[in-house]
Amino acid sequence: NYKKDLWKYDPATDSRTQLNNHTAGFAERYGAVVFTLGGIAYVGTGFTNIGSTFRKDLWKYNTASDTWTQLNGFPAGFGGRFGAIAFTLGGVAYVGTGYGGSSKKDLSKFDPTTPYLLSVNSNGEGTWIDLPDNSVLEDTDGDTNIQVEESPDEDIIRFDVAGAQVMQIDNSGRLGIGRSPTTNLLEVEGEASKSSAGDWLANSDARLKTNIRPLNSEQTLQKLMTLRGITYEWADHQTGTKRPEGIQYGFTAQNIRQVFPELVKEDAQGYLQTAYGTYDAMYVEAIRALVEENKKLNSRTAVLEAENTELRLKNGNMEARLSKLELLIPATIGANN
């Protein structure tokens, strides 16, 4: 039979005393691992006949109170096993190797100051560190830390500095800097910058595009003229986002949606958002329309100037002929008299 009882041996009297057995949650087993740290014993792993299961739970036994407490156990990457080894060094314990359907060669580190284990795994698939649910890596005063989940299977990683969350990666792979992301793959609270001048680059190769069609310059100009540039101040008391203070310049998403509805989207809270840089091509075509219109006006002006010059020449000729007539009229009248 598999056992879960506990006995104390006193070498001075060569006697054994049965202590408080493991609690109901501790399954009978064999091949468990045992180590002690700071006057406290720890028991875990092993194999049980209940479902023929390789165990990976971890229990703490307090000799002073004769009580058992289950800890968070080993991280997800640490498979159940029996026949593991354990040793202590520098106030921490290390557990590894054993058999759990296959031979193991990984190693986990246990720090008694927190009920968590770090697993350093290198089973031929690279090396990584596993953390159990609700784990926290933190500094000595606890105000700067990396937290893996606040609840089981939440799948969110949080980064805190000086007691405040500064970054979060959610379970959809969205990254929030200074905020918890809700909609976009990258969300930044407040202003952002780069270390040097230069552009953000993105692929624009025609070989990667299809259905390429030129914009109609006149229509684009008419649409842009429908947009209304405004000044405004933020009054955001709804989203929890920190907005810049003072006078801002731009548009409203509602106005943009009237003209370019395909460029306006709703965020997860139902508020409208748009990308200002998307309008560069439209600005180019609108300017092109203005340039073409200016060329037409210049051409028309040249024609009008030529016509005006011709009319002035004709007018000058007519004035010269009138002057000659004015000289001839008195002479003609005198001859007739």
What sign results for the dihedral spanned by CA atoms 78, 27, 48, 38? positive
Last-in-domain residue among 103, 130, 157 = 130
198 falls within a domain: no
Q: Which of 14-23, 237-246, 306-315 has the highest mean pLDDT?
A: 306-315
* 48 within some domain: yes
Domain boundary among 89, 108, 130: 130
64-78, 88-102, 218-232, 305-319: the lowest-pLDDT one: 64-78
Q: Structure pTM?
A: 0.47
**Pairing relationship of beta strands 116-121 and 128-130 according to DSSP bridges:** antiparallel
Least confident of 18-27, 185-194, 197-206: 18-27
Q: For residues 72 and 124, state if they share a domain.
A: yes
Q: Does residue 204 fall inside a structural domain?
A: no
Side-chain half-sphere CA neighbours of 11 within 13 A: 0
Please tell me whether residues 7 and 52 are part of one structural domain: yes
pLDDT at 28: 87
Residues 5 and 89 in one domain: yes
Q: What is the structure's pLDDT at 308?
A: 93
In a domain, 148, yes or no: yes
pLDDT tier at 51, thresholds 50, 70, 90: confident
The reply to whether 61 and 138 lie within a common domain is no
Buried b (16+ CB within 10 A) or exposed e, 144-180: bbebbbeeeeeebbbebeeeeeebbebeeebebebbe
149 with 113, same domain: the answer is no
122 and 158: one domain? no
- Within this chain, do residues 104 and 40 fall inside the same structural domain, yes or no? yes
> What pLDDT score does 258 carry?
93
Mean per-residue pLDDT of the chain:
84
β-strand 145-148 against 157-161: which pairing, if any? antiparallel
Residue 197 lies in a domain: no
Q: What is the mean pLDDT of residues 31-42?
A: 88
Q: Provide the domain limits for residue 144.
A: 133-189
Does 159 reside within a domain?
Answer: yes
Is 203 part of a structural domain of the chain? Answer: no
Rounded CA-CA distance 172/225 in Å is 39
Query: Do 5 and 70 reside in the same domain of the chain?
Result: yes
The residue behind tokens 């649409």 is: 223
Domain count across the chain: 3
Task: Give the tens place of pLDDT for each residue, 140-179.
Answer: 677 888 888 777 778 899 999 988 899 999 999 999 999 9
More confident residue, 91 or 82: 82
CA distance 177 to 159: 10
Residue that finishes a domain, picked among 82, 108, 130 = 130
Q: What is the pLDDT of residues 90-142, one digit of tens each?
A: 888 889 999 999 998 888 888 777 655 555 555 555 555 656 555 667 776 77
Same domain, 115 and 5: yes
- 113 in the same domain as 143: no
Q: Are residues 257 and 178 in the same domain?
A: no
Residues 121 and 5 in one domain: yes
Tell me the CATH number at 42.
Answer: 2.120.10.80
pLDDT at residue 121, rounded to an integer: 56
* Residue 205 counted as domain residue: no
**What tokens does 152 get?**
């089981």
